Amino acid sequence: MRVSLKWLSEYVDLKLPPEELAHKLTQAGLAVDAIVRTGADWGDEIRVGEVKTVEPHPNADRLRLATVALGGDDTRRVVCGAPNLAVGQRIAFGAIGAKYRDGHNGKYGTLKAGVIRGVESAGMVMSEYELGLSEDHEGILELPADAPVGQKLADVLGDVIFELSVTPNRPDWLSVLGIAREVAALTGETVREPSLEFEAAGPAIKGKCAVAIKDPDLCGRYIATVVSGVKIGPSPQWMQERLIALGQRPISNIVDITNYVMLEMGQPLHAFDYDTIAGHHIIVRRGRSGEAFKTLDGEERELTDDMLAITDESGPVALAGVIGGLDTEVTAKTKNILLEAASFNGPNVRRTSTALKARSEASTRFEKGLPPELPALASKRATKLLVELCGGTAMQGAVDVYPGKQREARVEVTRNRIVQVLGIDPPTAKVRQVLTGLGFSARWVPPDRYVVRVPYWRPDVRIDDDVCEEIARIIGYDQIPALPLSAAIPAPVVQPRRELRERARDLLAAAGMRETISYAMTTMEILERVIPKETLAIYPPFKLVNPLTSDHEYLRPTLRASLLMTLAYNARFQKGQIAIYETAKTYERPDERKRVQGRPHGEEALPVEREVACGVVSGRRADRWGRPSDEDVDFFDAKAFVEDLLRGVNVTAEYVAADEFAMLPGRTAEIRVGGVRIGVIGQVHPDVATAFEVEQDAFLFEIVLDDLLMHVGDQRKAGSISRFPAVEQDLALIVDDETTAGALQNVIEAASLVRAARVFDVYVGDQVPAGKKSIAFSVVYQSDEKTLTDDDVAKAQRKILERLRREFNAELRA
């Protein structure tokens, strides 16, 4: 909403400087986003001129020469390029030295004397753009015909405009009068209501016009007045200026009056051509399916029974509160006006206007719920203006059908409640002063309460806490003291899944990975790179109805693609090692979920959100100087991060070679805990990497934290620390190629006296038979009871070997 202070000052005295007033309004909840001064730097150089002559330019086809009169004998000759320049126009003339906005670079400059194509120009006829009024470059600004020639333009058009953010609970602030009421309350002034007095010289309306409301749930009041013999033409200059200042384009006197009253009082109105209304009979009812009519934007609209239609005896003539019909529109030939001022159901207007994509200044006011008292006042005001400005004659009285009349709202507020909610206890006199200033009436009923009557324009105030807010915002929120939380701290509530995720985040970062955060939506094409099509067919990812772009259409059921995209993006800039991860939700389609008793309907249809940690490692390891070395990272770099994470949460995992979509066979493993899969690790299939424009080996891991959660270890307990020396011995084995180090290690570590075993060499080549490999372990033997002898160790090793031979056909390497 924009408001002109010039217009505003008609209803309330503005004694504060605009900045101070803006601050007060903003504090009270009516946020002033910007203060725009029109004409602040027009100075003396820009004045109203009259175009006396227009002649062709001798040297240029597209330019013309004009003489402009500035009052008295003062005339100037200028070169002008605007096509709409004509003799007799009042225009804004900028003399040498005038400030103007340059049409080429948008910068403000000072007008200098100049010769244009051989002809001297003593100034310029200015456009709205050059004046800084709008972005309109097209042609010069045409001033009203009665604009006083020679007057400073700032005196004619200068104003201060507030650009306001109006919260949806306050449709009254979508009117100049409503803002005036707020200003009055905040500055202790009184409001001057606009005049509703006029002479109705026509016949009584009874019998000339009838109204019936068939659906009073959607229309609480409908008032029709009739003004006959109007003369269609432009509205007066002062009205046009006000409309323009608030961002409305003047159209014709009739339409301008309806818009003017809407901006002034907040009530949208509609003017019909009285003679086109069949039977002069307005019937307000729900639409019937199959019904259709043409609205004034030329669209053919089909009605449904959810829409409220204004009809006459032959059919629909308007969609209530949304848009009028083409056939009943006011035209240049219109003589008689039927003026509608009505109260429509807000949600219904919103639904209809949204469905028809026809939201307007009118519908956005109606949808916020306008009070039914307002149409009566607005109807009088607009009828008065129709009479006074369009030469019409008003019929006496109005047809007022008012099924939605409500009792005046009263709210009781106890003094205790004010203290309970606000933490302050303002004196009775202050409370009454604040509420009275806002147009409420407040009666103190001893010993403990106020009875508050709410003015018609504040239907948003319904309960005692609403009144508390009114008191607080006018007194000022700065009067409320800042208090510490002093009550006992409630028992803590812990979400283990969240704790695990945060721990995983920390562990991976501490291990050397960078956390990334990526968008939760992606495309089907990208998902198909990392998830088999069959899976996507059985569990289709959740899709947005209204994605911002097609790049973000599907909710991701995996983080893999996001990480690979981030890798590709960064690999362009960085040759060294990249190690990145993200912990985020995936959104998966549940197999089948049943409604749970006591849960809201639809909860079973929500995606399963699982916490996942996913990481990618790629590039070359750093050398001593941090430059990329010749060594590429491999599977085991990725495994190191996984192990750091798992050790950090006290989990021991097994790695089992596995095939996985989008991963390279033979270089991929399932990560299992207690035999149950919690994730996967491996090299991204080179074809998949290429699809993401990753041209180097990439190693990826994904751990489903939800699955890991149930394995997260208990509190660790310390093991014994032997006071006897440990003996370290190497054990080099020759085994079949497919035997895994992990399986061997499990056997070795299970043997008695073995404290730990660690692989230190793997060899395949000439020195072992074909189909075999050598794996060397460093084994630590130790006893808690005694110092081990060579014999003890040899005996233990022999036992290990026997078992390895039996189970794995392993031989000691010579």
Partner 1 sequence: MPNDAVTQLRTEARKALDAAPDQGALDAWRVDFLGRKGRLTGVLRGLADLSIEEKKTVGAAANALKLELEEAFDARADTLRLASLTKSIETGRLDVTLPERPHLQGGLHPVTQLSRKILDAFRSMGFSIIEGPEVELDHYNFEGLRIPADHPARDMWDTFWVDEEVDGRRSILMRTHTSPMQIRFMEEHKPPIRIAVPGRAYRFEATDTTHEWMMTQVEILAVDEGLNMGHLKGTLLDLFRRLFGQERQIRLQASYFPFVEPGAEVAMDCYVCNGKGCQSCHGSGWIEMLGAGMVHPEILDSMGIDSRKYTGFAAGMGLERLAMQYYGVPDIRWWYQNDLRLLNQF
Q: Which of residues 479-498 bind partner 1 (CB under 8 A)?
A: 480-485, 487-490, 492-495, 498
- Quote the least distance from Cβ 564 to partner 1, whole Å: 12
- Quote the least distance from Cβ 364 to partner 1, whole Å: 7
Binding partner 1 by CB under 8 A: which of 237, 570, 696, 722? Answer: 570
Alpha helices by DSSP H, 39-152: 128-131
Among 132-140, 432-440, 567-575, 741-749, which window interacts with partner 1 (CB under 8 A)? 567-575
Question: What single-letter amino acid sits at 703?
Answer: I
- Quote the least distance from Cβ 465 to partner 1, whole Å: 5
- CB-CB neighbours of 232 under 10 Å: 17
Residue whose CB is less far from partner 1, 112 or 601: 601
Among 28-36, 59-67, 75-83, 218-226, which window interacts with partner 1 (CB under 8 A)? 28-36
Q: How far is CA 439 from CA 174, 181, 452, 510, in A?
A: 17, 8, 10, 62
Q: What angle do CA 405, 408, 409 make, to 5 degrees?
A: 120
For tokens 């910007």, the residue is: 34
Residue whose CB is less far from partner 1, 89 or 267: 267
Residue whose CB is less far from partner 1, 235 or 586: 586
Residue whose CB is less far from partner 1, 31 or 232: 31
Most distant CA pair in the chain: distance in Å? 129
Torsion angle defined by CA atoms of residues 505, 507, 513 and 516, in that order, rounded to the nearest 10 degrees = 0
Considering only residues 92 to 151 of the shown chain, the ones binding partner 1 according to CB under 8 A are none
Considering only residues 514 to 553 of the shown chain, the ones binding partner 1 according to CB under 8 A are 514-520, 542-548, 552
Considering only residues 315 to 354 of the shown chain, the ones binding partner 1 according to CB under 8 A are 346-348, 350-351
Question: What single-letter amino acid sits at 410?
Answer: R
Alpha helices by DSSP H, 266-345: none
513 binds partner 1 (CB under 8 A): yes
The answer for 340, left when phi > 0, alpha when psi is -120 to 50, beta otherwise, is: beta
Residue whose CB is less far from partner 1, 406 or 574: 574
Cα–Cα dist 159/147, whole Å: 16
- Quote the least distance from Cβ 258 to partner 1, whole Å: 22
Residue whose CB is less far from partner 1, 162 or 293: 162
Q: Which string of x and - marks every residue 200-239 that binds partner 1 (by CB under 8 A)?
A: ----------------------------------------
- Quote the least distance from Cβ 296 to partner 1, whole Å: 24
The strand pairing partners of 64, in sequence order, are 56, 80
Residue whose CB is less far from partner 1, 293 or 641: 641
The contacts of residue 722 (CB under 8 Å, 6+ apart) are 755, 782, 783, 784
Binding partner 1 by CB under 8 A: which of 219, 578, 748, 800? Answer: 578
- Quote the least distance from Cβ 431 to partner 1, whole Å: 15
Cα–Cα dist 763/773, whole Å: 6
How far does the chain reach from its first CA to its final CA, in angstroms? 91
6 binds partner 1 (CB under 8 A): no
Considering only residues 452 to 471 of the shown chain, the ones binding partner 1 according to CB under 8 A are 463, 465-466, 468-469
Among 20-28, 275-283, 382-390, 784-792, which window interacts with partner 1 (CB under 8 A)? 20-28
Query: Tokens in use for 732?
Result: 């080099």
Helix (H) or strand (E) holding 807: helix 790-808
Considering only residues 653 to 712 of the shown chain, the ones binding partner 1 according to CB under 8 A are none
Among 154-162, 508-516, 524-532, 749-757, which window interacts with partner 1 (CB under 8 A)? 508-516
- Quote the least distance from Cβ 688 to partner 1, whole Å: 19
Residue whose CB is less far from partner 1, 140 or 179: 179
* 399: phi then psi, degrees, rounded to nearest 5: -90, 115
Considering only residues 41 to 70 of the shown chain, the ones binding partner 1 according to CB under 8 A are none
Considering only residues 398 to 427 of the shown chain, the ones binding partner 1 according to CB under 8 A are 419-424
Q: Are 596 and 604 in contact (CB under 8 A)?
A: yes
504 binds partner 1 (CB under 8 A): no
262 binds partner 1 (CB under 8 A): no
Residue whose CB is less far from partner 1, 138 or 623: 623
Q: Are 544 and 554 in contact (CB under 8 A)?
A: yes
Among 49-57, 132-140, 168-176, 699-707, which window interacts with partner 1 (CB under 8 A)? 168-176
Residue length, the chain? 814
Question: What single-letter amino acid sits at 761?
Answer: D
Closest by CA position to 319, among listed 298, 338, 339, 296? 296
170 binds partner 1 (CB under 8 A): yes
511 binds partner 1 (CB under 8 A): yes
Q: Where are any strands of DSSP class E within 638-783?
A: 654-657, 663-673, 676-684, 698-704, 727-736, 754-763, 772-781
- Quote the least distance from Cβ 301 to partner 1, whole Å: 19
Q: Are 271 and 258 in contact (CB under 8 A)?
A: yes
Cα–Cα dist 646/651, whole Å: 5
500 binds partner 1 (CB under 8 A): no
Among 123-131, 165-173, 660-668, 673-681, which window interacts with partner 1 (CB under 8 A)? 165-173
Helix (H, G, I), strand (E, B) or coil at 604: helix
Q: Are 78 and 66 in contact (CB under 8 A)?
A: yes
- Quote the least distance from Cβ 549 to partner 1, whole Å: 10
Q: How many residues bind partner 1 (CB under 8 A)?
A: 95
DSSP tag of 174 = G
- Quote the least distance from Cβ 572 to partner 1, whole Å: 10
Closest by CA position to 727, among listed 797, 775, 676? 797
Binding partner 1 by CB under 8 A: which of 145, 212, 509, 726? Answer: 509
Query: Tokens in use for 642?
Result: 């996984």
Helix (H, G, I), strand (E, B) or coil at 430: helix
- Quote the least distance from Cβ 366 to partner 1, whole Å: 10
Q: Which string of x and - marks every residue 594-633 that binds partner 1 (by CB under 8 A)?
A: ------xxxx-xxx-x------------x-xxx-------
DSSP tag of 724 = S
